[in-house]
Amino acid sequence: FFRTEIPEGLRRLPGPKPLPIIGNVLEMGSRPYLSLTAMSKRYGEVFQIQIGMRPVVVLSGIETVRQALIKQGDEFAGRPDLYSFRFINDGKSLAFSTDQAGVWRARRKLAYSALRSFSTLEGTTPEYSCMLEEHICKEGQYLIKQLNTVMKADGSFDPFRHIVVSVANVICGMCFGRRYNHDDQELLSLVNLSDEFGQVVGSGNPADFIPILQYLPSTTMKNFVNINARFNTFVQRIVSEHYATYDKDNIRDITDSLIDHCEDRKLDENSNVQMSDEKIVGIVNDLFGAGFDTISTALSWSVMYMVAYPELQERLYQELKDKVGLDRTPLLSDRPNLPFLEAFILEILRHSSFLPFTIPHCTSKNTSLNGYFIPKDTCVFINQWQINHDPELWKDPSSFNPDRFLSADGTEVNRLEGEKVMVFGMGKRRCIGEVIARNEVYLFLAIIIQKLHFQAVPGEPLDMTPEYGLTMKHKRCHLRATMRVRNEE
Ligand code: HEM
């Protein structure tokens, strides 16, 4: 890479000098989003590091990232062939695999349309505007009951442990047409392992770049392979049950709709993209995985921030009380009337930047950015954390201040400010679950804020230090929840 000829008129990428064999691994440290943000100040918005022997280009700055992912979108839309990615969804993941552009595009379109139709599908009763709303409202009520029970029994609760089951049930409802109890051991053992999954696939894991590490015994890697295998077996079993009971005239959920697509495709002689049934139905594995971990992490952080800032928690409650009242469950249609909640969510996404990097990208051909030459097949990290903490974009970026997203009189959300927050990526690989995610985080929060008040356990200081990974989580902890209004039971 260093000896590559640079085409005339283009410059060689700047960056720190690598050490033999390990490259810049030591400088990256255990919080790459911070070290790579610091390097961007020194080397600029496009620079190169070396992880092991492999060069990686790091992009920062909203305009530079927009240029790469939107204006030169096709050139930056690939995924690198990383060791850990091969274990996800048996190497057939929509989000992580190195599928050719045509196959990836066709799968992405299918995933997007299945997700949209099953979230906007009519609810089973007229009080809900769509299935997504119905699932969330029902799971929100179960969650409140569950937290109430746990509080009575134990006096405290672990936020992630319970939120993750509720969120997993929403995506299970859409993907598989079923839900699980909060004490279902099989589901619990899967969804509670997502921390270990994220730690391995976070950008910059040395084992992805230094081949020798793949041969050394590693408990983390062993656990990772095991989690993926269990996850695949879980989904496979549900898919087989769907094949056995599939009825063309009664498409029950996303899995059925993907099976249906395979059947239709066999009749479609004009279909020009060759894809196995496995690759089509396997999409449900990605949707389920992406659909519970990200949203549970967002909600769990939200609860932590409410505890850390009790005055903001009170403002959120007052807004709900004034605009929705306490007699009915909040709905999706209330969202425009709750600007402070909206601003609070935007600030959680910005301040925590719990997805500090997108999934790594890869160049599909020789290209250039800001005058620098970038060869084909170069791995590219997009530093979302840097954009969300860039002092050029944000006043006092390290302070947690939802008001930054509100108009001066506090009655409206400033949309342009909100669009600067980068957590869903941009361009061709932008998250396909964004609309669902924003609605789901909003509605779950509205439902729990209306009923519960959260506090730290006396004597247990709140630890807000994120643990690095694809999605960064807070340390597991215990909190207290008390009912705001008398339980109807
Ligand atoms: C990809 C963020 C929720 C499905 C991504 C990416 C990010 C992201 C950063 C990678 C973009 C890139 O590589 O440039 C989030 C956040 C969420 C969320 C912050 C919640 C707060 C969801 C949900 C689903 C979903 C609910 C589906 C049910 C996907 C899929 C991809 C993806 C399938 C891969 C797209 C591709 O590679 O073409 N998401 N996501 N996400 N997301 Fe999400």
Radius of gyration of the chain (CA): 23
In this model, does residue 202 exceed pLDDT 90? Answer: no
Give pLDDT, residue 129: 93
Q: Which atom of ligand 1 is nearest to the CA of 384?
A: 9
Helix, strand, coil share of the chain (percent; to 5): 55, 10, 35
Task: Report the nearest-CA residue for atom 11 of ligand 1.
Answer: 425
Instruction: Give the pLDDT score at 191.
Output: 84
Pocket test for ligand 1, best of 294, 301, 302, 435 (most atoms within 8 A of CB): 294
Confidence band for 159, pLDDT divided at 50, 70 and 90: very high
* Tens-place pLDDT, residues 367-402: 999 999 999 999 999 999 999 999 999 999 999 999
- Residue 71 — very low, low, confident or very high, per pLDDT cuts 50/70/90? very high
Rounded Cα gap, residues 488 and 162, in angstroms: 21
- Nearest Cα residue to atom 32 of ligand 1: 431
pLDDT tens for each residue of 328-380: 999 999 999 999 999 999 999 999 999 999 999 999 999 999 999 999 999 99
- Token pair of 393 as six digits: 């974009």
- Tell me the average pLDDT across 30-40: 97
- Phi and psi based region of residue 26 (left: phi greater than 0; alpha: psi -120 to 50; beta: remaining): alpha
Judged by average pLDDT, the poorest of 58-62, 159-163, 485-489 is 485-489
Supply the pLDDT for residue 489: 39
Cβ of 57 less than 6 Å from ligand 1: no
Mention every residue, 6+ apart, whose C-beta is less than 8 A from residue 445.
299, 302, 316, 341, 344, 345
> What pLDDT does 271 receive?
63
Ligand 1 centroid to Cα of residue 467, in Å, is 19
Q: What is the mean pLDDT of residues 17-22?
A: 93
Residue 424 near ligand 1, beta carbon < 6 Å: yes
Measured in Å, residue 330 CA sits from the centre of ligand 1 at 26
Spatial distance between the Cα atoms of 199 and 448, rounded to a whole number of angstroms: 29
Mean pLDDT confidence for 208-212: 86
How much is the pLDDT for 431?
98
pLDDT in tens, 293-310: 999 999 999 999 999 999
Q: What is the mean pLDDT of residues 141-162?
A: 95
* Ligand 1, pocket-test mutation among 279, 363, 424, most atoms within 8 A of CB: 424
- Tens digits of per-residue pLDDT, 267-283? 666 666 778 888 888 89
**Average pLDDT score over the chain:** 93
Q: Using pLDDT thresholds of 50, 70 and 90, give the confidence band for residue 488.
A: very low
| pLDDT value at 1 more than 60 | no
Give the lowest-confidence range in 30-39, 118-127, 214-223.
Answer: 214-223
Residue 95 C-alpha to ligand 1 middle, in angstroms?
Answer: 8
Which ligand 1 atom is nearest residue 96's CA? Answer: 37
- Ligand 1 atom 18 nearest Cα: 294
> Which pLDDT score, from 0 to 100, does residue 487 have?
45
Nearest residue (CA) to ligand 1, atom 7: 424
Question: If you average pLDDT over residues 96-116, what whole number do you get?
Answer: 92
Q: Which atom of ligand 1 is nearest to the CA of 382?
A: 14
The pTM for the full model equals 0.95
CA distance 242 to 246: 6
Give the mean pLDDT of 458-464.
Answer: 93
Q: Is the CB of 298 under 6 A from ligand 1?
A: yes
Structural contact between residues 452 and 481, judged by C-beta atoms closer than 8 angstroms: yes
The answer to whether the CB of 110 is under 6 A from ligand 1 is: no
Q: What is the CA(358)–ligand 1 centre distance, in A?
A: 9
C-alpha distance from residue 234 to each of 92, 172, 482 (Å) = 16, 12, 35
